[in-house]
Every structure is written in structure tokens, then in C-alpha cells.
Amino acid sequence: MKKGTKKIVMSLFIALLTAVMAACGGNDSAKENDAKSDKGEEGLKIAIVTSPSGVDDGNFNEDNYNGILKFIESHPTATVKAIREETGDPAAAVQAVADIVADYDVIVTPGFQFAGVSSIAVENPDKKFIINDSEPAPVGDQKEFDNIYAMNFAEQESGFFAGMAAALETKSNKVAVVNGIAYPSNVNYQYGFESGVNYANKVYGKKVEVVELSGYAGTDVNGTDVGGNYAGSFADAATGKVIANALIDKGVDIIFPAAGGTGNGVFTAAKEAKGDVKVIGVDVDQFDEGVNGSENIVLTSAVKFMSMNIEKALNSVVDGSFKGGNVVLHADTDSTGFIKEEGRHQLSEDTLKKLNDAYQLVKEGKITPASNFNGHTPEKFPGL
């Protein structure tokens, strides 16, 4: 073979080899892109199972749902199905989850009545569960589960700010809290509110009374009488209105309705009341619900930043950092607090400053309001 011919053949061989290698590399890249595309097209299948008030209750359930919707905004291939359990009975709530568990990747369950989903989680280790407002019920000796992220909020902190605000703003020196059922989270709100009133009385020289009605005392999950004004339901606006009217008749001018849909009756009573009666919203910013003609009955709202934390939990599922466990979220993660944005409250500048000062102390752990099971009482707690 001539020297020139050898060069031509070698050049052709190199060109052919380069083309083959490029083609192989191209195919690997294409496969990788196809895999990413397929994964994206599948998306995350999410279900949220709620109490009878549903995801449009304007409060607790809706804020959880909004966290899912916010997640979907940044993950448009994900989907969500909202399922309303009609009774509120814990056994029925767990059954509602069991009925749909096979069809979804993640199931969000807001509410104490869903504690029993732990038994379903054990049977479905490939599914993930996000519980809000409860720890999972033990299965044997097991209390934490790899596929359950159970988040509770320190409601007593948000309730504390509600109590402070009520005590600092009341004109009649009579305030009250109206609750739904004496689940731990609800008792936390009550005890926190009472702690906040007591704090304002001691630190700022107020003389405010927390009014309770005979016949409406609550009994917590341990059978302890916790007092308060409990309607016995989170979906009984009529009873909420009856309780609120009775409180208003006793001179109460600021009410904190930590009662879900039952709180709607408190709002109605306050709007219909003769004189200046205010309410403090709960769980979420309820300022828009306080509109009453040209006025607004909402003083501020004591909130748990639930949607933010639901979104975080779902993000952890898709980025692979999901970790099961039982957590309590506090002010130190900005998960509890009160509404102070301009135009969304009616607090005086003086009250706002005092609340901000107290918030920092709560965040630093220098104030620890009483809760259902933390061993403190509204009359005696760290910081009082």
C-alpha cells in the first residue's frame, strides 16, 4: 500500500471511530434526558384527607392545602386530590386514608384524628405521610416511623400572643377564648392565651379577667378538666355563636375563637354585637373574614405558619432529604407568631412593640407559655 493511501485509510478510520464514539455518547445523553423527562412527567401524586370542614374552610385545612398548591407551583407535574372525611371520627378518618393509600405517593393528614394512620404507614413503607397537629399513634413499641413526618406546632406560643394582644387592647378588661374540642393543640391555644393575659397583667399592670362559662368546660385526652369554653365540635357555628353571645353579655369585648368552623359563629356574633367587640383570628390570617361593612372586627391573628412547613416537607420528598420523625415547630423557626403586617391588624403601636419584645423572648426561650402537657400552668410558667 502506498504511503498516501495509508494516510487516507487511517484518516477514514479515525473519522469513523470518532463518529461511533460521538453516537454512543449521544445515546447515553439521550437516555439520561429521557429518564429525567419520564420522572418529571410522572410527578408526585399527593392526597390531602381532611376533617368535615374540607380544604375550603378558610382556616386550618385550607392553609395545609395551600402549602401543597404552593409546592405544585414549582413542581407543575405534581398533582393533588382533596378528600373530605365527613364524620371527624378517628376510626373513620383512618379508614378514609386506608381506602386511597394505594393511589398516591404522599398523603397529607391535617388533624389530631389522623394519628392512627401509623398502622397504614407500617403496611405501606413505600408511601410517605405528612401529619399535621398530631404525633402518630404507637404501633407496638414504635413511636416514630421512617415514612411519617409528623409536625406539631407550639400553639401555646401563638395563643400567648393572642392573650397578650387581648389584654393590652381590651376596654372592658374581660376577654375569652372559645374552643372546639379539647385536643392537645386546642388546649395549647387556650393555655397559651391565658398565659398571655397573665403576663400582660403582671408585666404591664393590667387587670384583665379571662371569662369562662359554666357548662362549657373541656376535658382533655387524659380526662383532665381544662376549663375554657368548648363547643364540643370544630364544625358547629351555631354553638359557637351561642357561646360568643353569652360571653358578650358578660361584658367580654375581645374573643379568641380557636375552634375551626365553629369559630365562624363567633365572628357572626361579634359582627352583630352592639358595641365594639373584636375577635383574634387563629391558625391563619383571618383579617379578610373580619370585614363588617366599613369596619373590621379582627384585631390580629394568632398563626401557625403551616403552609410554609407543608411545602418544605414536600420539597424534601422530591429532593431525597425526607426524614420521618415527630417534631414540634416553634418561634425559633418562625413557625408560630401573630399577624403584624400593616393593614392586616388593628393593634396600637404600643401593643405592637410589646408583642414584638415578647416574641423575641419566646424565640430565645426566656418565655415558655403553658401548654397541655409541658408541666407549666397559665398561672406559673418560665418568664412570668
DSSP character string of 209-272? EE---TT--EE-TTS-EEES-B-S-SS-HHHHHHHHHHHHHTT--EEEEESGGGHHHHHHHHHH
Backbone φ, ψ for residue 322 (5° rounding): -55, 135
Place of cell 485509510: 9
CA atoms of 322 and 29, how far apart (whole Å): 28
Q: CA neighbours within 13 Å on the CB side: how many for 106?
A: 24
CA atoms of 138 and 140, how far apart (whole Å): 6
Taking CB atoms within 8 Å and a gap of at least 24, the contacts of 68-73 are: 68/108, 68/310, 68/311, 68/314, 70/307, 70/311, 71/46, 71/310, 71/311, 71/314, 71/315
Q: Residue 335 belongs to what H/E stretch?
A: none
pTM exceeds cut of 0.85: no
Residue type, 25: G
Residues, the chain: 384
pLDDT in tens, the chain (384 residues): 444 443 444 443 434 334 433 343 433 333 333 323 233 446 999 999 998 889 988 788 999 999 999 999 999 999 999 999 999 899 999 999 999 999 999 999 998 899 999 999 999 999 999 999 899 999 999 999 999 999 999 999 999 999 999 999 999 999 999 999 998 889 999 999 999 999 999 999 999 999 999 999 999 999 999 999 999 998 899 999 999 999 999 999 999 999 988 999 999 999 999 999 999 999 999 999 999 999 999 999 999 999 999 999 999 999 999 999 999 999 999 999 999 999 999 999 999 999 999 999 999 999 999 999 999 999 999 999
